[in-house]
Structure 1
Amino acid sequence: MSIDILMPALSPTMEEGTLAKWHVKKGDAVRSGDVIAEIETDKATMEVEAVDEGTIEELLVPEGTEGVKVNAPIARLSGEDAGASTAPAPKASSSPEPKSSEEVSPKVTEGAKAPTAAPPPPSASPPPPPQAGEERKASAQRDGQRIFASPLARRIAEQKGLDLSAMKGSGPHGRIVKADVDTAQPGQTKAPAAAPAGAPQAAPAAQAQRQPQSLEHYGIAAGSYDLIPLDGMRKTVARRMTDSFRDVPHFPLNLDIEIDALLAARAKINAMLEKSGGGKVSVNDMVIKAAAVALKQVPEANASYTPEGIAMHHHADISMAVAVPGGLITPIIFKAETKGLSQIAAEAKDLAERARTKKLKPEEFQGGTFSISNLGMFGIKSFASIINEPQGAILSVGAGEKRPVVKGDQLAIATVMSVTLTCDHRVVDGATGARFLAALKPLLEDPINMIV
């Protein structure tokens, strides 16, 4: 028998992607762990691995196809394992329940939708003992129905001693994914029962918002402009920024910082690195380091709002905004407070280069505890960014420029850089944001403070 391999969801926000390349062809035998395809999303290009063994019966989607929806069949696998995995649902509970088809979809289909299966009819006969192996956990029951969970989520749940029947999944159609078990605690209460099929569903909040109108609605004639279709990245950025701006109560704090000493220190550091064959350190690298140190000094600013409480992060994982064709992506310098400037510079350069070629792994741009957006290289003096949820704040960095300043009672010239901290008022209030900026200022005005 055969089974369809589905288009994986490589991130929680992914809705469609491009099947960039096949690494297999019809008739090829595949084993668990073999790379079978490359999928290009709005943020990255990822390799997809097979989970089960079998033979490629048919490639349903040609390589290079764009706009392939998540959970759409892209290939068909046949073989002994595939046949066992796709056996029809039993008509009596005395027959072993089949393995979920999600087990033979690629490993990275954590957010993929599992096929809907009707619950088996009740039977007085007891079910047979489950077979060994994690794949049989797909047949776990919740109130008489199968629990849909990704293979990775089931493995983590077993390691943490969690009861999947007590969880509510956040994936497609309520499927339990890795994020659900990562945040779950043993003994949590059961999720409320799902609404019966056919019951009216509440419209999502986003649908209740005013939808954009066509330009013709505003009197702009059709044919007087060129329309560039929205790609996946632009759609994702638009949705996330709209949600953040609408849902997060935010406010800005502005501060001017003199950076003459920072520029002098950067010149000395780069001279030393040049002698040793190292790369160069940018002003943005020094801002990342200073922000990480300041976050450790004011840990209340390194926090996120959740419905359960305020999450105080252990490390300063700094997301840095990188402009890429068609949008924006925020690769992360993890544990930036523990790294030297040369290491931060090397990581930042590598991440930025791979971001522009869509070679980042999801874990390299998903997460982060604090963001930095720098438009100083474009001559922008001051601006305020939209918060990158669920982070509590984002720092916007403007250009350094010569300005008149008062030192003592004398007028002088200094290189001044304006920064703006946009705060989520639910977690970073005005006093906390001000304390963070007060900690950041001396670190940038005298960089030796970063290492003291």
Structure 2
Amino acid sequence: MAEIISMPQLSDTMEEGTVIKWNKKVGDKVSEGDILVEIETDKAIQDFETDVSGFLLFIGVKEGEKTRVNDMLAIIGEKDEDISSLIEKPNLLLKIEKEGHLKKEKKIDHYPEKKKKYRIFISPLAKKIAKEIGISINRIKGSGKNNRIVKRDIEAYEKKLNTIRKSKDKKEEKKINISSIRKRISEHLIYSKFTAPHYYLFIEINAEKMIKLRKNLNDKLSTEEKISFNDIIIKAVAISLKKDPNINVSWKEEEILYHSYINIGIAVAIQDGLIVPVIKNADQKSLLQISQEIKDKVFRSKSRKIQPEELENSTFTVSNLGMYGIEFFTSIINLPNSSILSVGSITEKPIIKDSKIVIGNIMKVTLSCDHRIIDGATGSNFLSFLKKMLEDPMIILV
């Protein structure tokens, strides 16, 4: 017997899903456990496994289209089974829902009423002008006595037509439907910005020793194991959070939650916006382990294969735009985190060293803080310790 496969709820906040790719086509055999379709939720793209066996008889949502949770996604049944009743029923219900009632049969009038002729009153001058410029007077409403069309009515109508023609000549703007992920990002950022009172702390870090450490490490590592500056920063942040637990906190309505674990979110740009995979228990992992995990999760985030549980339970977030040449910027806090670190590029600039002006490599970072939990002094102490770690990064290897 044929069975309707509905759009599943793949996350607790999912209200609708977008079909990204069908792995089966109509007529294909389907076995329990097969990956039937890839679905974009409000968090990520997930594989949907079917729990029934049979043949794919009908696809209700095409690739690129979206539908709400529990709406018909597909029908699976016996080969060549008649499913017309299953398809027609939801279509009929949809039709009734849209129209609000069934259409009544139209009564045929065998003696249609003759159209009444009516006279258009127009001044001779207006009639002449209309004829010269090729305007039909049937659609013009007169403003003269007894609704007579006069010269000014022809001129006003011509002006209106020219405006319409000009608007049609303009290039149409491209419109793209907002994805579920982009909607979720928008809602989350708006909530954060207007819930948590943000303030920002800026600091410059001398990156000379960090550059040397990275070079020395990478000279000894394979291509696949190469360490990035971001890897070093994440490790230093993890140590700093362990040193100062007052930053590793979340605001609750009746209490402040001090986290017993250090999970660092990494902001990753994808086609539809931004997602934040999480490096869990980062303080307990080596620099190489952090580097390998970041590479894996960034790759799977960009290919939309990251799992929802890998995007949850962060306690702090790092956003790095240094690779784009951005010197410094501020970020919106990723609630329920209480802060986010924004990392800029490493740039050469004059600095004072041993009472002399020399060229140094400087990296600017910004800490966005939730003022409900983190006071200025608390945030400043955290940044000062992080600066110390990154300016003498050999400490993170101990």
Q: TM (normalized to structure 2)?
A: 0.70
Q: CA deviation at 1:42?
A: 5.2
Q: Is 2:287–2:397's contact at 8 Å kept on the other side of the alignment? A: no
Task: State the secondary structure of the residue aligned to 2:219.
Answer: helix
Separation (CA, whole Å) in 2 of partners of 1:27 and 1:347? 37
Q: CA deviation at 1:438?
A: 1.6
| Equivalent residue, structure 2, for 1:14 | 14
Identify the residue that residue 390 of structure 1 maps to in structure 2: 336
- For 1:425 and 1:407, locate their aligned partners in 2 and report how far apart those are by CA, in whole Å: 35
Q: Match for residue 379 of structure 2?
A: 433
Q: CA RMSD in A?
A: 2.6
Q: Residue deviations 1:12-51, cap 9 Å, x none?
A: 44332222214486695754x5544322335433122345
Cα displacement (A) at 1:286: 0.6
**In structure 2, the residue corresponding to 1:273 is in which secondary structure?**
coil
Residue 405 of structure 1 corresponds to which residue in structure 2? 351
AA at the equivalent of 1:74: L
Q: Does 1:231 align with 2:179?
A: yes
Change over 3 Å in CA distance of 1:4–1:307 after alignment to 2: farther
Deviations 1:397-421, CA, capped at 9 Å, x for gaps: 0111122223354333321111000
**1:49-448 correspondence to structure 2 within 5 Å:** 49-50=49-50, 58-76=57-75, 223=170, 226-229=173-176, 230-274=178-222, 278-448=224-394
What does residue 40 of structure 1 align with?
40
User: How many residues are treated as equivalent by the alignment?
Assistant: 307
Deviation per CA, 1:328-382, whole angstroms, max 9, x where unpaired?
A: 1111111111122222222111211211111111112233111111111111111
Partners of 2:186 and 2:171 lie apart in 1 by 24
Q: Distance in 2 between matches of 1:27 and 1:403?
A: 63
Do the aligned residues in 1 keep the contact of 2:43 with 2:184 (CA within 8 Å)?
Answer: no
The one-letter amino acid of 1:435's match is N
What letter corresponds to residue 72 of structure 1 in structure 2?
D
Q: Counterpart of 2:22 in 1: which secondary structure?
A: strand
**Residue identity matched to 2:311:** F
For 2:133, the equivalent position in structure 1 comes to none
| Distance (whole Å) between structure 2 residues aligned to residue 382 and residue 27 of structure 1 | 53
Measure the CA separation in 2 of the matches of 1:343 and 1:40: 29
Whether the 8 Å CA contact 1:24–1:36 is kept in 2: the answer is: no
Give 3-state SS (helix, strand or coil) of 1:256's partner.
strand
What's the TM-score, normalizing by structure 1?
Answer: 0.62
Instruction: Please identify, of 260-269 and 2-11, the stretch whose mean Cα deviation from structure 2 is larger.
Output: 2-11
Q: Report deviation, 1:3.
A: 5.8
Q: State the Cα distance separating 1:248 from its structure 2 match.
A: 1.2
Higher helix share: 2
3-state SS in 2 of match to 1:415: strand
5+ residue gaps, structure 1, are 80-220
Corresponding residue for residue 131 of structure 1: none
Higher RCO (Cα < 8 Å, 6 or more apart): 2
1:431/1:6 Cα in 2 relative to 1: closer, same or farther (>3 Å)? farther
Question: Residues 2, 262 of structure 1: CA spacing in aligned structure 2 closer, same or farther, 3 A cutoff?
Answer: same
Residue aligned with 1:383, SS: coil
Change (3 A) 1:355 1:404: same
Distance in 1 of aligned mates of 2:272 and 2:48: 24
Aligned partners of 1:3, 1:307: CA distance in 2, in Å? 45
**2:127 corresponds to which residue?**
none
Moved more, 244-253 or 398-407: 398-407
In the other structure, the counterpart of 1:143 is none
For residues 118-149 of structure 1, what are the alpha-carbon distances to aligned partners after superposition, in whole Å with 9 as ceiling and x for unaligned?
A: xxxxxxxxxxxxxxxxxxxxxxxxxxxxxxxx
CA displacement 1:90-143 (0-9 Å, x = unmatched): xxxxxxxxxxxxxxxxxxxxxxxxxxxxxxxxxxxxxxxxxxxxxxxxxxxxxx
Displacement of 1:294 in angstroms is 0.6
Structure 2 residue runs of 5 or longer lacking an equivalent are: 79-166
| C-alpha contact (below 8 Å) 1:22/1:63 kept by paired residues | no
Does structure 1 conserve the Cα–Cα contact (< 8 Å) formed by 2:26 and 2:59? no
- How far apart are 1:429 and its partner, in Å? 2.1
Amino acid at match of 1:259: A
Q: Secondary structure at the match of 2:221?
A: helix
SS class of match (2:5): strand
Equivalent-residue separation in structure 1 for 2:67 and 2:43 (angstroms): 15
Q: Which residue type is aligned with residue 14 of structure 2?
A: M
User: What is the CA–CA distance in structure 2 between the aligned matches of 1:233 and 1:383, rounded to whole Å?
Assistant: 24
Distance in 1 separating the partners of 2:235 and 2:361: 20
Determine if contact 1:442/1:449 at 8 Å carries over to the other structure: no
The alpha carbon displacement at 1:77 in A equals: 6.3
The one-letter amino acid paired with 1:15 is E
Residues 319, 225 of structure 1: CA spacing in aligned structure 2 closer, same or farther, 3 A cutoff? farther
Amino acid at match of 1:414: G
Give, as a single letter, the amino acid of the residue that structure 1 aligns with 2:200: P
For 1:71, the aligned partner's letter is N
Residues of 2 paired with 1:36 and 1:382: CA distance? 45
Deviation at 1:245, TM superposition (A): 0.9
Percent identity, aligned pairs only, is: 39
Query: 2: distance between equivalents of 1:5 and 1:15?
Result: 16
**Which AA in structure 2 matches 1:368?**
S
